Structure 1
Amino acid sequence: MLPLASSLYAVPLVILYPLLTAWIGIGMESKIVFGAIYGFFPMLLATAAGVRTVDRQLLVAARSMGAGRMQLVRHVMLPAAVPSVLSGMRLGSAMTAIGVVVAEMMAATSGIGFVITQNRTLFNTANVYFGILLVLVLAIALD
């Protein structure tokens, strides 16, 4: 399952947006779903990496004390993976915001991405740079 997720993370997710607009519509819902997909894979991969790096000694010790599978997950694996999960959430939240802006650039009538695209077509570079700066500040604030 993890190799599939890694492969999907490598695919440019922008190619999925036309499908989302066909399935969900061109409204706010498609932008939210696209942003969620954009931020999902970094969180998934970071969580999987955190679970894989759990010290085997902790697992052996918990098993020797009679811990079952769910107790191992709840009391050993998840607490040990918390740093990786939090770093994945940190990266995923910034990626989600960027995904929403990208979706706005492709099909929207409002938003930062729409403003950037509209001013780009009008050759209003000052507003384009301001929009890009605003996206950078947003990504840094979410990071």
Structure 2
Amino acid sequence: MSAMTESHKTDPPETGSAATGADSDTRPGTVALQRTWWERNGRTTSVWAARLLLITGIVAVWQLAAGTVFDPSFTSRPSDIWGRLVDWNADGTLWMHSWITLQEIVYGYALGSAGGAVLGFALATLPTVYRVLDPFVMALYSIPKVALAPLFIVWFGIEMDMKILLAAVTVFFLVFLNTAAGVREVDRGLIDAVRLMGGGRRDIALKVMLPASMTGMLTGLKVAIPYALIGAVIGELVASNRGLGYLISNSAATFDTAGVFATLVVLSVIAAILNFLVGLVDHRVSRWKPAEAQA
């Protein structure tokens, strides 16, 4: 009888331990602690390998086809583009013009993003005001930004300020609209729940609407990156003697297609770096989301 009692006392902990282990293994979202390097990084490695293979293939086909399939005076060659970048790097042309355009992009992006995020959040929390202003905002958003360049030249001249403001205006509407959409799509059940718990307008704005608007705002920040480049380069193309836009215009005027493509490569690299930085911010802000939503 004593043996049976002892057996009965010692069995449950073993069963409970096994059940706990089974639950931890099958619980959604859990990851095995012991994983190989490929299991941890295989997907990312495959994606980057596919990207590298695609770029290599395009460059190889381009290099072989230039001069045989199409005239290289119109499309240049990757080897000529690389040579132009090396020459510009050696004489300082690349870094001087890139630095000017980078300042215009960053300042314009920061100014437009800040204004768009703040005004988008503020107006979206006031539904009546937003409905009144919405058609005017959309009308201004519909204006081609290149059409604003001559007007900005009259107002601000041809110095860096004009390019910064043109980039800022281009970015502003994208961040504004996406932030406002994020606020307006907040689950009404969450707002009602905060009100039932005694929360006021301040609590609803800071604890419900602000976190909910982050997804829309970050989407706007990502989408706005190439438009910041477009705004700055358009300003340089219209009136400037410095910057990457000027390099494109000058190279095209002298029929230097290698110079045009070399400048486009530099702009693509700048856009990729800015997109990577915004992606890091998005990853840190979105850590509260489920893994599926982040993917």
TM-score normalised by length of structure 1: 0.92
| Distance across 2 between alignment mates of 1:86 and 1:129 | 30
Q: Which runs of 5+ in 2 are unaligned?
A: 1-132, 276-295
**Greater RCO, CA 8 A, separation 6+:** 1
- Counterpart pick for 2:210 among 62, 78, 102: 78
What's 2:195 paired with?
63
Q: Does 1:107 align with 2:239?
A: yes
What is the deviation of 1:9? 2.0
| Distance across 1 between alignment mates of 2:134 and 2:265 | 35
Cα deviation 1:42-85 (Å, max 9, x = unaligned) = 10011011011111101111111222222211111011111111
32-41 or 63-72, which deviates more: 63-72
Identity over aligned pairs, percent: 39
Matches within 5 A, 1:11-90: 11-90=143-222
| Distance across 1 between alignment mates of 2:246 and 2:225 | 20
3-12 or 79-88, which deviates more: 3-12
What is the deviation of 1:104? 0.9
Detail structure 1 runs of 4+ shifted over 3 Å in the superposition.
none
What's 2:251 paired with?
119
Cα deviation 1:74-133 (Å, max 9, x = unaligned) = 111011111111111122233212211111111111100000001111111110111122
AA aligned opposite 2:230: I
| Distance across 1 between alignment mates of 2:134 and 2:183 | 12
AA aligned opposite 1:58: L
Q: 1:6 to 1:140 in 2, by over 3 A?
A: farther
What is the deviation of 1:4? 2.4
- Counterpart pick for 1:140 among 261, 272, 289: 272
In the alignment, is the contact (CA less than 8 A) between 1:21 and 1:30 conserved in 2? yes
Q: Which runs of 5+ in 1 are unaligned?
A: none
In the alignment, is the contact (CA less than 8 A) between 1:94 and 1:139 conserved in 2? yes
Q: Provide the aligned C-alpha RMSD in A.
A: 1.4
9-18 or 29-38, which deviates more: 9-18
What is the deviation of 1:140? 2.6
Question: What SS class does the counterpart of residue 169 from structure 2 fall into?
Answer: helix
